[in-house]
Structures are given as structure tokens and as C-alpha cells.
Amino acid sequence: MDEIPPKANSPSASYNIMKEVMTYRKISAHEHVGISKWIPIEEQIDIADRLGIEKQVISFPIVTGSGKMGTPEEFRDCNNVVLKAMKQNPDRYLGSCFVNPVYGKESLEEIKRCMDQGMIGLKVYNQVKLNDPLFYPIIEKFIDLNMIILMHAVCGIGFGGHRTKYGNRQPEASIPEDFVDAAKRYPEAMFQYAHTGGGGDWEYACKAIQDFPNIYVDTSGSNNCGNMIDYALKYLGEERLFFGTDGSYYQGVGTILASNLNEAQKKKIFFENFNNILRKAGNHVN
Amino acid sequence: MLIDINANIGHWPFQQTNCNTCQALLERMNKFGVDISVVSNMNGIFYKDTQAANEELHNEIISDQRFRDRFIPFAIINPIYTGWQNDLEICSTKMGAKGIRLYPLYHDYKLSDPSCIELVRSARDRGMIVAFTLRMVDRRPRSWMDIDKEWSLEDLVPIIKEVPDAKYLVLNISRGTKLSIEETKLFKDTDIVFDTSGRNISNLGELINTYGKDMFAFGTHSPILDYLTGLLRIESLRDSEADEATKKLLRSGNAKRILGI
């Protein structure tokens, strides 16, 4: 066998990634403020500016196991942080309200307080599964509001997952089948399956929810698998995918840019699909 | 010029991947303006005899002049499997391998294993680069048949201390970049290049300040990860973080230097 000389015939390709990045308007459908060790607001705005992200949908959820129980006082404090960020950056942030359905009456009161101050949706975490009856009045409220419910999702068959010998780190978090239960019971509600790139098995998730058109997904997360966007498109179609960041801004943009989606599909995922959700309640971006 | 120092062909046995042949990778390189890719065959992670994977890669590369021009092969060597010395010799002298990739977690040995140290020293003596991938996939959604460990930068400290005059690529940095002052000095004093594919390259401007502009180079970890995030981290740097000369180092200059091309 002959030695291969490492020649470099430049392809002179003229791909300009930043030009393409700035081609697309963007709404991140999944971002946070206030969480310990999270990216400070000033840095979030700076990264968003670099990547042409106009709006970020922010929330401040409490994680079970964080030492906080998600009491009404605690979730009000979280939402106040979001409201403050919204007021300080009205052109950049859209707020999502966080509540704990264990406290039903207080949750509904808090939803009203937050919506009255301009929030546009709900973000819920792992205190109660999405298909738990405790959630019913909240889901019904969001049907009335014509707003989407972003639910933290896990789909672990690997480390810390729900189908693994290594132990389930979030036993009360919602798995795809919980989303399906809720979507079946409330076909008129809108659910956002969180962060396909957030460490869950996105193949499993896409297949599990494919037949339920009121379950959308955001493609945020740090695990920017090469085939994730194309796979999600294959199973869910181009109308049910939202661009999101969840702290992983470069991955959020990079996965979509590198996918095989055409330009029109990228426009939908980066901006139009989520804006159409916002439009239902009159909260869309012009 | 743009050089990707972390590309793969071959199969990932637990998940279908796209663009995992030389032809498909070349098309992707052309689409996104990548001139050269440092490439290995992932099959070698799973074959007991990794040389079979190196031969597959070699045969694919020599099958087309375009591949010869655009790909730089790295061999996968398992130092606890018999015959690796001959394999290294063949990869170095007859297959054009500029470096080797080691997968201790998959091949079930420790970096302190005498065979591993001997392999790294042998690569050093041949002028070959030694590449460590800190993780192939995120362990959270991995297959139930896959390994459950990932490495941090600090896990490489023992081998770097053992063979400080070797040249290293550290790829897909995903579990922390913070080292002690002593460890940071060790890394900075060694000829090491980190690729930009890993999730912990979240603030490249800050990392350049910590480690220096000579220690980073564009990498994709393709086809496991998406093809553009590693590039986006470079091209979105502000002028105050990386001037054009520094970006040229990140795009190709640092890769050229360590590869000797």
C-alpha cells in the first residue's frame, strides 16, 4: 500500500455561516433566567445578538431535588424574576409562568397574575406528571387562554433514565407516554415537549408522540446530535418543531442549520411555527 | 481554509447516522466549505481487531483521488490487543495515518496501563498525534449496550504527565474545562489542540483567554454531532474576542501546525 500524501486542494467553497445565521428570524421557544449558575441575562442578550435571536421565551422553574419544594411563595418569587427580566428587556424576552399543580388554587391565581402582566405561556417541571389529574384544571385554563404548555420532558434509556438499570433521576418527570395521555384527554390543548436535545432519547420521543398533532417539540439542549432535526421532521412534520436554546445557544442554531431542511422549513422552525402559536392568543411577534 | 480535526466515517452501532462514508462526508465538506478533514473509522471502536477498520478507511480513501486530497486518516489502535505495534507501523508508513485515536473506555484499559503508555510513546517517536475523544455520545440517551462513562479534561492529566512531549488532540470536550492551576499549566506547556465540537466549548472567547489562541481548532465530531455548531462557535466570536488572525488559527492554522501540513 502506498503512502497517501495529505494534499489540500481547497474547494474554495464560499459558505458563510454567519450570513446564513442572520438570514433567519428566530424565537427561542425554550430559555430560562434566574436558575443558579445559568447564563446571566447580559450574556444571554449578547449571544442572542450574535445569533440573530430576536425573542427568547424565558421561565424560572424549580427543580424537584433542588432543596425547594415549589411552594406558592417560591413559585411566585420565580415568576417575579421572570417579570422583572421581561420589563427590563421587553423587546427580547417573552415570559412563561411557572407553577406547581400540587397547589391548584394558588397555581390558577398565579397564572392569572402572570398573564395579566403579559406572560405568554406556561412552563412546568417535574413536580407533577402532565397526565396527573392535578394538572387538569391548569390544562383547561390554558385551553381557554389559547396558550401552550411547555413541559419538562425526560426520555431516558441511558444514564439516569426511566428505563435503565442505572436509576431514574427524575421519577416524577413526564415521559413521552405522559404527554400522549394528556394529549388524548385534551386534544384541543397545546403541549410543548421540552428539549429533544436535552439528554433524552429523541428518537423514542418522536416516535411516541408522532400521532398526536397537539404535541409540539422544541429542539433545544446541549446534545446536538447530527441526525436529530431530520429525524424529528420525518416523524413530526415541519409544523410541530420549534427552535429552542435552553442554555445551549450554539447547538440550538447549529443543529437546524446543518440539517437537511430546506429554507422554508428552517424559517418555520426558527420563527414561524412558534409565532403561529403566539398568534392564537394575540401575542405574536410582528 | 477550514480544517475539521474531528470527523468520523463508519457505523455507530446503536443509532443510524448520516454522512458516514467518505463520499457523503466529502459532499458535506463541499456544502459547508471544509477543505480537509481528519478522519477515523468508528468501526474500530467496536472491532476487537481495530486494524480491520483502519484498512477499511484506507481502502476507501485510496479509491478516489478526491478522498486522497481531502482526508487525513487517523488510525484507531488498541494497545491491549496483540499486534498493535505492527498495526501502528503499517498505519504510519503505508496508510498515511498522521495520528492515532485511542478509546480506553471502549477498549477497556486505563491510561496508566503500561501498554497504553508504550503506544503513546511510540506514536510520539513517529511524530504521530495522539487523539482522545472525551466522549463519543452523551451518556444520557445512549443505548443500554453502550458504556456509561465520560471523561473530563482532568482525566487526561496522567498520560500527559507520563508523555509530556507527545502531540495531542482532545476532542468533544463535554464535561468541564476547568483545571487546577498546575493542570492548566501542564496542558498549556504541552502541544495540545482542543476541537470546538464539545458542549463545554460554550464560551470560546473566555477559553482562549484561559488556554491561549494556539490551543483550539475547528472540529465537528461528525456524524455523531451536527456539522456546524463547532464552526458557529468560532465565526460568532466578536473582534474583541478573536481578531481575524486568531480566527484563521482556529479555522486551520492550529490544525496545520500540529498536523505538520
Which of the two residues, B142 and B39, has the higher pLDDT score?
B39
Which residues of chain A neighbour B238 with C-beta distances below 8 Å?
50
- A225 in reach of chain B (CB within 8 A): yes
Interface of B with A in 100-119 (CB under 8 A): none
C-alpha cell at A224: 446536538
Mean pLDDT, residues A213-221 taken together: 98
C-alpha cell at B168: 495531542
Of B183, B223, B204, the C-alpha closest to B42 is B223
Are B144 and A257 in contact (CB < 8 Å)?
A: no
- B228 in reach of chain A (CB within 8 A): yes
Which residues of chain B neighbour A165 with C-beta distances below 8 Å?
144
Mean pLDDT, residues A175-192 taken together: 97
pLDDT (0 to 100) of residue B144: 85
- Give the CA diameter of chain B: 51
pLDDT (0 to 100) of residue A1: 37
> What type of residue sits at position A264?
A
Mean pLDDT for all residues in chain B? 97
| pLDDT per position as a tens digit, A56-113 | 999 999 988 788 999 999 999 999 999 999 999 999 999 999 999 999 999 999 999 9
B232 vs A5, A230, A250: nearest CB? A250
- A159 in reach of chain B (CB within 8 A): yes
Q: Percent of chain B at pLDDT above 70? A: 100
| pLDDT per position as a tens digit, B99-146 | 999 999 999 999 999 999 999 999 999 999 999 999 999 998 888 889
Q: How many angstroms away from the CA of B142 is the closest CA of chain A?
A: 5
pLDDT (0 to 100) of residue A146: 98
A17 vs B15, B225, B232: nearest CB? B232
φ, ψ at A58 (rounded to 5°): -110, 150
Task: Give residue B120's domain range.
Answer: 3-259
**Number of folded domains that form chain B:** 1
Q: How far apart are CA A212 and CA A117, in angstroms?
A: 32
Interface of A with B in 123-142 (CB under 8 A): none
φ, ψ at B256 (rounded to 5°): -60, -45
Residue A232 and residue A219 in contact, taking contact as beta carbons nearer than 8 Å:
yes
Q: How far apart are CA B150 and CA A158, in angstroms?
A: 13
pLDDT (0 to 100) of residue A7: 47
Mean pLDDT, residues A22-45 taken together: 95
φ, ψ at A177 (rounded to 5°): -65, -30
- B156 in reach of chain A (CB within 8 A): no
How many contacts (CB atoms, under 8 Å) link A and B? 166
Which residues fall within 8 angstroms of residue B253, CB to CB, at 6 or more apart? Answer: none
Q: Percent of chain A at pLDDT above 90? A: 85
- DSSP states of chain A: -PPPP-----------HHHHHHHS-EEEEEEESS-TTPPPHHHHHHHHHHHTEEEEEEE-PPPTTSS----HHHHHHHHHHHHHHHHHSTTTEEEEEE--TTSHHHHHHHHHHHHHTT--EEEE-SSS-TTSGGGHHHHHHHHHHT-EEEE-B---SSTT-TTSTT--S-TTSBPHHHHHHHHHH-TTSEEEE--TTSSS-HHHHHHHHTT-TTEEEE--SS--BTTHHHHHHHHH-TTSEE---TT-HHHHHHHHHTSS--HHHHHIIIIIHHHHHHHTTT----
pLDDT (0 to 100) of residue A5: 45
- Compute CA distances B235 → A13, A16, A250, B228, whole Å: 16, 9, 11, 10
The structural domains of chain A, ordered by start, are 19-279 (3.20.20.140)
| pLDDT per position as a tens digit, A159-168 | 666 666 566 6
Q: How far apart are CA B110 and CA B115, in angstroms?
A: 9
CATH of the domain at B116: 3.20.20.140
Residue B233 has pLDDT above 50, yes or no: yes
State ipTM: 0.96
Where residue A2 falls among pLDDT bands split at 50, 70, 90? very low
For the whole model, what pTM was predicted?
0.95
Residue A221 has pLDDT above 90, yes or no: yes
| pLDDT per position as a tens digit, A138-161 | 999 999 999 999 999 998 776 666
| pLDDT per position as a tens digit, B165-210 | 999 999 999 987 889 999 999 999 999 999 999 999 999 999 999 9
Please give the helix or strand (H or E) that residue B182 lies within, else none: helix B181-189
Q: Percent of chain A at pLDDT above 70? A: 92
- Compute CA distances A57 → A107, A245, A248, B43, whole Å: 20, 10, 14, 41
Mean pLDDT, residues B24-33 taken together: 97
